[in-house]
A and B are shown apart, each in its own frame.
Chain A
Amino acid sequence: MATIYSEQKPPAASPPWADENAADEGARSERTRLRLPAWLPWLGGRVLSGLATAFVISILVFAATQALPSDPARVILGPDATEASIRTLQAQLGLDQPILVQYAKWAGRALTGEFGVSLDSSVPAGQIVADRFGNSAALMAVVLAIAVPLAFLGGVALAIRRDSRADNWAMNAIILFKALPAFVLAIGLILLLSTTVFPILPAVSLLDPEVSPLLQPVYLVLPALTLILTVAPFLLRLVRSAMIETLEADYVAAARLRGIPERRIVWAHAVPNALVPVIQGIALTSRLLLGGGLIVEVVFSYPGIGNALNAAIEVRDVPVIQAITLTMAVGVVLINLLADVATVLVTPKLRTSSRPRLRNGTRAKLKLKAGGV
């Protein structure tokens, strides 16, 4: 078959008004497959920015616990403490040194996971974090493992049936669950499932510390259910609105007019484009899970990191407070970093660019779209 359009002018003669081959350079990086990915420098910058964020977070944690209170030792021990015990504590916390020295020493130790000894139980604070962290992680894993697929499938299904009766009802339910604070939900569930109506589940999570919480599902059900109900509506709505947006895109209409079957349009054309909001949304829920998780753990006496923080705050166990808040905040930074990397990886335009420009505030915008966290 002969080329019909053969009179492509040679590049030299083609006037620069033409743009026919202008994009060739952009594609060159794709051609050589062995080269390092184009976004590697971006990743470097992003990691640096994450480290800087972690540094500032450590300053904030330190400031709130040690620098801002006029006399942390007195705050910790309460008004009835003797002068001697206060002085002992001051020495133990190193409060007698200049503030910058205190911070430097504290941060240096924190880098090695060393946060000092719990004032309450004389166990190293790092140890407490490590012990409890597993339980919380198990809870969150269960929550995400159920909430993410649920929200994804539900969101896609609702987007396809947009404005149907089922969609309207689901949206109303979502607004309801999104509005309710986590502890209100938790108490509602206790009333429903472990006390008056259907007393079938334990209201308190008396985990056997020797066994993984995943093997004691009966204690996981209520806390996990509460968190799923706080997280899933938010995620589901995010998926739904992202899917609606892509289903309305020109390329979906174009695919439809090429005779591509509807099922294929949804899964091969629309869903991949709705991935980015979902990835960023999952990152956003990590904040929600950590904050809501604390209350839920307290309500159900679930022996997780949130409950430990609550207990530490009650007795002003500064080393433990510092260890846990720092871990949580740095964890959020890390999750955001991973989400950004995943975003770049699934978006061809970002992946092939040497300067991927993740729109600033993507997350904040998402938050609004889904009606807030």
Chain B
Amino acid sequence: MTTKLSALRRDPQARLGLVFAGSVLAMALLGPAIAPQSPLALVGPTYGLPGDPGALLGYDYLGRDVLSRLLAGGRSVLWMSFAASAIALALGAVIGIAAGLSKRWIDHAVVWGTDVLLAFPDLILVLLVVSMLGREPWLIVLTVAVSFVPGVIRLARGVTLGVVSQEYVEAARLMGYPWWRVVLLEILPNIATPLLVHLGIMLTWAVGVLSGLSFLGYGVAPPAADWGLMINENRAGLMIQPWAVLAPVAMIGLFALGTNLLAESISRAGSRIGVRRGVKSRARTQMRGKKRRQRENQA
């Protein structure tokens, strides 16, 4: 684990990702406290351009301060992204690990179920639910999480199957260790890296879906400040006051890029820890030969 962390620290991409995602996160968290104006107050001219000392980014379509709205508008999308991704990860990991450990038909049923859900494009599923059931934040979070869960299940199941086929898990079972011990100590630590990478990727998606949702007008209700909503509101004035659109676009892009870079470097660091080849490759050759002959003999 330590070698992996140090490898991450040396990776310039990881650092860049951390800076990007971290600064957006910090801004979203601290933003409301340092915002010069209330995000809802009408303080300037409609689509007023930047220039006033108090309004670095100008004013929006109602004359509200874009900077203040930008500082206040990150919290909703970020907490919802984190919540949705975390819920999806937890739920999907539990189901996926369970499927990987279950009897074949249960496993097949779970995989088939994920196939069904995966037939809906993420956004469509969310839209479908949100349009009919309402736009409460918890409902949106839950729906986005549900739309991510099949992917996590597939992933967790796949890596679990990979780990379960390793002899150390079988050794633990033969010793008679209790099942929770096998799952927590033998399986979970060994599938953590791909799950972590997936969390990063899901964050990227979640930001996209959630900001897209409010961009379409189904997310956070106006007049609250929200990046996706800001883009939507000020789109008509793109020609006059591009900053009102560009600033939230940049925020969303920066955060998505940051999490994506982080996920990329975690997965690179994870794959770099390999075993020495020599002996292993021959062992593999022999085992492949054996397996093939076994198949042929059984046929």
Contact = CB atoms under 8 A, between A and B. Distances in A.
A65 B128 contact: yes
A157 interface: no
A288 interface: yes
Interface string B192-219: 0010011001101101110110011110
A372 B205 contact: yes
Given A179-B256, A183-B231, A364 B151 contact: yes
B151 A371 contact: no
A332 B264 contact: no
A183 B212 contact: yes
B116 A364 contact: no
A72 B131 CA distance: 11
Given A181-B211, A372-B205, A75 B132 contact: yes
B212 A295 contact: yes
Contacts of B239: 195-196
B299 A181 contact: no
Given A25-B299, A313-B127, A371-B201, A57 B261 contact: no
Given A180-B256, A364-B151, A321 B128 contact: yes
A282 B197 CA distance: 23
Interface stretch (B25-33, B41-49, B170-178, B242-250): B242-250
B242 A181 contact: no
Contacts of A321: 128, 131-132
Contacts of A184: 208, 211, 249, 252-253, 256
A60 B231 contact: no
Interface residues of B, number: 61
Contact of A181 (B202, B207, B235): B207
A100 interface: no
A194 B110 CA distance: 47
Contacts of A60: 116, 120
Identify whether the interface residues of A are mostly helix, strand, loop, or mixed.
helix
A7 interface: no
Contacts of A57: 116, 119-120
Contacts of A188: 249
Contact of A183 (B116, B215, B238, B246): B215
Contacts of A316: 131-132
Interface string B222-262: 00000000010001001100100110010011001101110
A287 B235 CA distance: 27
B215 A295 contact: yes
A53 interface: yes
B75 interface: no
A61 B121 CA distance: 13
A267 to B, nearest CB: 28
Given A64-B132, A313-B127, 8 more contacts: A65-B132, A184-B208, A309-B124, A321-B132, A329-B119, A329-B124, A330-B119, A364-B114
**Residue among A19, A49, A183 with the most chain B CB within 10 A?**
A183
Contact of B264 (A182, A292, A309, A371): A371
A329 B121 CA distance: 8
A3 to B, nearest CB: 25
B123 A191 contact: no
B91 interface: no
List the 5 closest pairs (A to B, CB-CB), nearest first.
A291-B121, A181-B208, A364-B154, A179-B260, A372-B201
A104 interface: no
B299 A22 contact: yes
In this complex, the interface size class of chain A, counting residues with CB under 8 Å from chain B, is 35 or more
Contacts of A52: 112
Nearest to B205: A372
B118 interface: yes
B238 A191 contact: yes
B128 A187 contact: no
Nearest to A190: B238
B296 to A, nearest CB: 4
Contact of B257 (A53, A64, A175, A330): A175
A2 interface: no
Contacts of A336: 115, 119
B212 A181 contact: yes
Interface in B94-125: 108, 111-112, 114-116, 118-124
Nearest to B289: A19
B34 interface: no
A30 to B, nearest CB: 15
Contacts of A23: 296
A176 interface: yes
A214 to B, nearest CB: 24
Nearest to B217: A314
A216 to B, nearest CB: 23
